[in-house]
Chain A
Amino acid sequence: MNGESDDRLHSAFQLMAQAASSNAHHTDLIFLTVFVVCGAVALGVAFTMFWFCVRYRHGSGAVHARVGTHRPLELTWTLVPLAIFIAGFAWAAHDFVSLYRVPPGATQVYVVAKQWMWKLQHRNGRREINELHVPLGQPVQLLMTSQDAIHSFYVPAFRLKQDVVPGRYTGLWFTATQLGEFHLFCAEYCGSQHSQMLGRIVVMQPAEFAKWLGSGTEQPSLAQYGFARFRELGCSGCHAAGSTVHAPSLRGLLGRTVHLQDGRTIVADENYVRDSILQPKKDVVAGFDPVMPSFTGQVSEEDIQALIAFLREGAVP
């Protein structure tokens, strides 16, 4: 990647923060186009008004007379903006949709926001506070929830932002295209220290990132930790294959289509797993009794994220 030359280029142009993600360039292109078009319109209107004010000021030599209706003109300046607007909408909408299509093979990082800090955990268990190390050129998917108020994960250099909401997971994915460190801001007002809830994204070469990820204090991976909780909380008591209690199997759960008791069909995702742990009577699987107890109060947000990681990649009994 020609990271270094881009660095020099971007430091010379200070208007926007350096573009450091694969989608940032698309956003910047639309922005530049919209800016030019809107700027032209604004200047055009301003100039026309100014010109008319000068030319038709009272007492000037110009013709001062009533003006009739001019339907073709009115229709033109109605339909031309309409066409431009539809085009603008479509272009930005197209880019927007791709922001929500996570590429396969993206690495998950779990994020818990709380007043007034960011807690992040990589799959192998490595934790970070207010910092996120990521490898250059590889897609990363953030699965985020809040412990208290609504926060928002904002990286201006990536041109990306996603609100982090209590009670559910929201997601954000990116592929970093520049080495370096970039601001992480909280962008949803969340109380006293909202403006001090700062962090940074550190983009490293993949090899260095792997080294960094492997170092740090010895601790179990997220999935291993999730397995430990799975046993401690007694999940396998009902959900394991050999159990006497009739409970749905959890193998390969994430991404599977599930038929619910009330006739609905959903695709099991992170939010479904979280709801099933905390509010098991919400979406009961068809053919099963609603006997699963709730684990509210017994599991933290990190525990739930670990359990999800375990279900995703562990050896589920």
Chain B
Amino acid sequence: MKSYLQEGTTIASWLTTRDHKRIGILFAIAITFFFFIGGAAATVIRLELATPQADLVSNDTYNRLFTAHGVIMVWLFLIPSIPSVLGNFLVPLMIGARDMAFPRLNLTSWYVYMLGGVIVLLALALGGVDTGWTFYTPYSTMFSNSWVAVTLLGVFVVGFSSILTGLNIIVTVHTLRTPGMGWFKLPLFVWAIYATSVILVLATPVLAITTLLVIAERLWQIGVFDPAYGGDPLLFQHLFWFYSHPAVYIMVLPAMGVASEIIPCFARQRIFGYRFMAYAILGIASIGFLVWGHHMFVSGQSVAASMVFSLLSFMVAIPSAIKVFNWTATLYRGSIHFDAPMLYALGFVGLFTVGGLTGLVLASLSLDVHLTDTYFVVSHFHYIMVGGSVMAYFGGLHFWWPKITGRMYADTWARIAAVLIFLGFNLTFFPQYLLGVQGMPRRYHTYPPEFQVLNLLSSSGAVVLAVGYLLPLFYFAWSLRPGGRIAGANPFHATGLEWTTPSPPPKDNFEQLPEPPQEVYGYDPAKDPRHDPARGGAMAAEPVR
């Protein structure tokens, strides 16, 4: 049977595809491109920050660099990463469908993303924007001398890609599950992508209207954010954060979904507390809409409002804590293997825990007065978005690479990369917590000399991190060479419908649409097929096609 990769090999066949699997790969290529551009900006930033003085770039260039880094990494990399790459590829397979509910809309979503990305690149080429990815008014509407409107137009367009993807996933999960697959037989990855899609559909439009209002005020000086017309700069912050806080859950929920697939497989143990895990996903998604004001504790927001937002921010941490405990408990009495995907997943749990706990620190009102707008916040969100989401994305890429490509990568190199990323990440970002506590504000190009030691440590860590991120390019590419190692349908002996079809799958996913499994995560650590006691504890050979 032909695989989906063999159905049409021209570029045109890829650019006109309706196959959710190909569309996932199109997204993967695009976001990888943007990841390295955003990463290049970060490299220059960390190089500059190794010394207190401005000796590498000018003020304006530095400000445009950190803005570009934020805009690209958030909207062009992180938000689409797991949902549009792994979600697109895997959700129909995991529920036993042949494609998404609206295949043409899926392709449209990719083209809309590319259009938005091109517009943002255009803004960069013209000279970039220097407002920070948060575009606070009135600086962005009245005082910035940079390409604000063009950049925001790009963001506006990319937002619609998000909305269309989310719409497709919601309808797909509701209507195309294989008969007999009730909600509580769904893998947690599907739950996570589903909840993420609800957030995508409900939060992104608010960003869309906000970008339009900023563009209007900037181009025609008519706006709701200008006090001279009776407007309020804080109104922008409310509208912006109403989207941007749920946006961070768009970035972390899919990562949690990936972890919930990898850990049971490599511990050979079903996930502990499946129902609580599913409810926790829904809890995070819903409470996540109610906490946006915690970005505004010192903005001039009322004390009463701040107190409500602080309390709710503590509440949203409860379901996250439940998930961390449940992932840990899943390891208990398992039969644990430490392949690369597992290293990424375990790293995710650890780093997400640290990031989440520092979120509690920031949710504490009097502490936030000192720590907000400092490097403590920068470190907090990088722990979650990079230590969390990016590690999980990489873990997912490594776990499902055999399914997507039919090839196996060199696990030793993959493990080296995982360890380098983990170590490099901590060396880069842990010093930044200390910098924040000592009072170094964020978005600072130059800084008082007493902050140099920690900055230098952080910049050195960035070198290690960069090496770790570059390695997969090589061993993944190497795995695709003619004569590379072929992976079987289920090299990790995982449960889940996506593993019942060949690697790579045929265009219509399944020869015959599958029956749902008896139980989701039907692992038994006492019967570990990857552990063969007869061979003295060595692993059973994996099936080779």
Contacts and interface: CB of A to CB of B under 8 A. Distances in A.
Complex: A in contact with B (CB within 8 Å):
yes
Interface of A: 15-17, 23, 26-27, 30-31, 34-35, 38, 41-42, 45-46, 48-49, 52-53, 56-59, 62-67, 69, 73-74, 77-78, 81-82, 85-86, 88-89, 91-93, 95-97, 99-100, 115, 148-150, 152, 154, 156-157, 159-163, 165-168, 170, 183, 185-196, 198, 279, 282, 296
B227 A58 contact: no
A186 B441 CA distance: 8
A96 to B, nearest CB: 4
Given A49-B328, A49-B331, A66-B269, A194 B298 contact: no
Nearest to A62: B333
Output the residue of B139, B354, B374 with the most chain A CB within 10 A. B139
5 contacts: A49-B350, A53-B346, A58-B335, A58-B531, A148-B143
A88 B360 contact: yes
Contact of A194 (B310, B338, B443): B443
B443 A189 contact: yes
B446 A187 contact: no
A102 B337 CA distance: 60
Contacts of A62: 333
A307 B222 CA distance: 30
Interface in B68-123: none
A58 B526 contact: no
Given A56-B332, A191-B144, A74 B276 contact: yes
Nearest to A77: B325
A149 B299 CA distance: 13
Given A67-B269, A167-B227, A192 B324 contact: no
Nearest to A194: B443
B231 to A, nearest CB: 9
Nearest to A190: B139
Looking at chain B, what size class is its interface with the partner chain?
Answer: 35 or more
B298 A64 contact: no
B268 interface: yes
Interface stretch (B12-20, B153-161, B165-173, B363-371): B363-371
B346 A49 contact: yes
Contact of A99 (B139, B324, B329, B366): B366
B57 interface: no
Interface string B221-235: 000000110101110
Nearest to A45: B353
A89 B444 contact: no
A150 B233 contact: yes
Nearest to B304: A97
Contact of A195 (B136, B307, B349, B445): B445
A162 B298 contact: yes
A165 B233 contact: yes
Contact of B336 (A57, A93, A170): A57
A34 B367 contact: yes
B61 to A, nearest CB: 10
Contacts of B298: 152, 161-163
A149 B360 contact: no
Contacts of A26: 366
A36 B422 CA distance: 24
B463 interface: no
B128 to A, nearest CB: 13
A66 B270 CA distance: 8
B310 to A, nearest CB: 6
B459 interface: no
B369 A99 contact: yes
Given A150-B139, A186-B441, A191-B143, A65 B526 contact: yes
Interface stretch (B201-209, B252-260, B313-321, B411-419): B313-321
Nearest to B330: A67
A195 B525 contact: no
Interface stretch (B21-29, B183-191, B431-439): B431-439
Given A34-B367, A64-B525, A81-B317, A42 B300 contact: no
B372 interface: yes
Given A34-B367, A45-B328, 5 more contacts: A27-B370, A56-B525, A57-B337, A92-B310, A150-B139
A251 to B, nearest CB: 28
A73 B322 CA distance: 11
Nearest to A148: B143
Nearest to B528: A58
Nearest to B319: A78
B434 A15 contact: yes
A186 B349 CA distance: 35
B233 A65 contact: no
B286 to A, nearest CB: 16
Nearest to B312: A89
Given A77-B325, A162-B298, A156 B143 contact: no
B299 A52 contact: no
A67 B329 contact: yes
Contacts of B338: 53, 57
Contacts of B446: 195-196
Nearest to B306: A96
Nearest to B311: A89
Interface in B130-150: 130-132, 136, 138-139, 142-144
Interface in B177-199: none
A67 B524 CA distance: 9
Contact of A34 (B63, B270, B364, B438): B364
Contacts of A192: 59-60, 63, 130
Nearest to B231: A167
B370 A81 contact: no
